[in-house]
Amino acid sequence: MLNHLQISALDLRLTLMAAVLVAMAVVFHMLSGAFLTPENLYNLAQQTAVVGIVATAVVLIIVARHIDLSVGSVLGFVGVLIAFLQYSKGWHWVPASLAGLAVALVVGLYHGWLTAFLGVPSFVVTLGGLMSFRGAAFLVADGKTQPVTDPDFLALGGGLDGALGPTWSWLLAAALAVLVVHNIAARRRSRGRHGFSLRPLWFDVLLGAFLVAVIVGFVALTCAYQLDGKPEAQGVPVPVLIWGTVVAGMAFIVRRTRFGRYVFAIGGNPEAALLVGIPVRRVVLKLFLLLSVLVTVAAVVSVARLNAGTNSLGSNMELYVIAAAVIGGVALSGGSGTVLGSVLGALIIQFLESGLLLLDVGIGTRMVIIGQVLIAAVVFDVLYRRWTGDRTAA
């Protein structure tokens, strides 16, 4: 049946994850009565965006058989620097953000050079970075909170004016729905043109209808949430729009560029990749630079969302990001993972934490549960790959 419908082991895994996500939402709503409300889902989507943005790049880092434990500290360092330049130095938010990006790229170049060209294990390099850049975040502003007030900057983090509004949200939903239908139709035409077997038409119709329903449902929920004193509903939050743009861009890199294929080739077998002429060192260095760019984007969103840069910004972020990647199906041994999986993984982590919070579960118990869920995800990954024989999902 799976072969007839052309459902791969990867497709099946993502479907199972989506089913788990739905089941979690239903169970938490039944227990709390407040999980599936527009207000909670709106805020949950914004909270997940920061983790999701960084997780898309961490997926590729792990696929290439490396790790980055410093993303939370670097995010905090860059975020505090951006806020410091705005509040204490009077910079406009655009040059302040570009300065933060420049610093993040220097950090990525440092980590990438030590890892790729000197051969220092990325675990050791970024473990040192975890400590060093958390201290640097403190030194930038002497541990003082740096508030930001620019309304254009604050809109990037959501909040009062950080949403598209109903009109633009529904226009976006319509455009995405057309894109989904076009992609499914184009895939059928392409396979038919090259003589490959086609999925049953009813299956593609149901798949398209489901994806369109998800898009419409999400937009309807965000348009049902209205803040006091505002004449219209919020609509799609800007952080979610940024996250979606990052996911689309990373998916394009993975599927449509030589660089993306190089990453998976290196993760599958670094020695073989080197022998066939892939510039392994340069690719690894570019990976760390790409991660630096997305960490900066996440730092901007995070500071804008909190209206300030604080020394604790990004604390434990590396744990949530790696957990999202692993739950999303990334093999810690490298060579296998998906950008879409990181989206579902980030949502599962955030659904779990938000649901436990609504049930008034203490922080200690929440940490225990989330940690065990991470272990369970790795166990499931091992058993699932043994069952399917999947080694190279991309």
Q: What is the pLDDT along the chain (394 residues), one digit of tens a residue?
A: 556 556 666 677 778 888 888 899 999 999 988 898 988 999 899 989 999 999 999 999 999 999 999 999 999 999 999 999 999 999 999 999 999 999 999 999 999 999 999 999 999 999 999 999 999 999 998 888 899 989 999 999 987 788 999 999 999 999 999 999 999 898 888 888 887 777 788 888 888 899 899 999 999 999 998 887 788 889 999 999 999 999 999 999 998 899 999 999 999 899 999 999 999 999 999 999 999 999 999 999 999 999 998 888 988 888 889 888 888 888 877 788 888 888 998 999 899 989 999 998 888 888 898 888 878 877 887 787 777 765 444 3
CA distances from 358 to 219, 313, 335 (A): 23, 23, 37
Helix, strand, or coil (residue 285): helix
Judge contact between 365 and 352, C-beta under 8 A. no
**Paired tokens of 270:** 């670094």
Judge contact between 180 and 206, C-beta under 8 A. no
pLDDT at 389: 66
pLDDT at 190: 86
pLDDT at 9: 67
pLDDT at 321: 92
**Paired tokens of 344:** 């579902």
Q: For 37, which DSSP code?
A: S
- The alpha-carbon radius of gyration of the chain (Å, integer) is 21
**Paired tokens of 302:** 């995070």
DSSP-assigned beta bridge partners for residue 309: 146
DSSP-assigned beta bridge partners for residue 163: 237
pLDDT at 393: 41
Q: Give dist(CA 337, CA 58) in Å, integer.
A: 10
Listed residue (262, 385, 264) closest to 334, CA to CA? 264
CA distances from 343 to 54, 70, 233, 368 (A): 10, 20, 25, 23
Judge contact between 156 and 162, C-beta under 8 A. yes
Helix locations, 64-195, DSSP H: 71-87, 93-116, 122-141, 151-155, 165-193
- The secondary structure of 235-249 as a DSSP string is -SBHHHHHHHHHHHH
Judge contact between 66 and 122, C-beta under 8 A. yes
Return the residue matching tokens 């080197």: 274
Helix (H) or strand (E) holding 146: strand 146-147
DSSP-assigned beta bridge partners for residue 158: none
Listed residue (61, 108, 102, 49) closest to 245, CA to CA? 49
Query: What are the boundaries of each domain within the chain?
Result: 9-162+237-388, 163-236
- The secondary structure of 343-389 as a DSSP string is HHHHHHHHHHHHHHHHTT--HHHHHHHHHHHHHHHHHHHHHHHHHH-
Helix (H) or strand (E) holding 309: strand 308-309
Count of C-beta atoms within a 10 Å radius of residue 38: 16
Listed residue (386, 329, 348, 356) closest to 62, CA to CA? 329
**Paired tokens of 394:** 């991309």
Is CATH 1.10.3470 the classification given to domain 9-162+237-388? yes
Q: Give dist(CA 56, CA 343) in Å, integer.
A: 8
pLDDT at 250: 94
Q: Give dist(CA 79, CA 97) in Å, integer.
A: 9
pLDDT at 394: 38
Strands 308-309 and 146-147: antiparallel
**Distance between terminal CA atoms of the chain?**
22
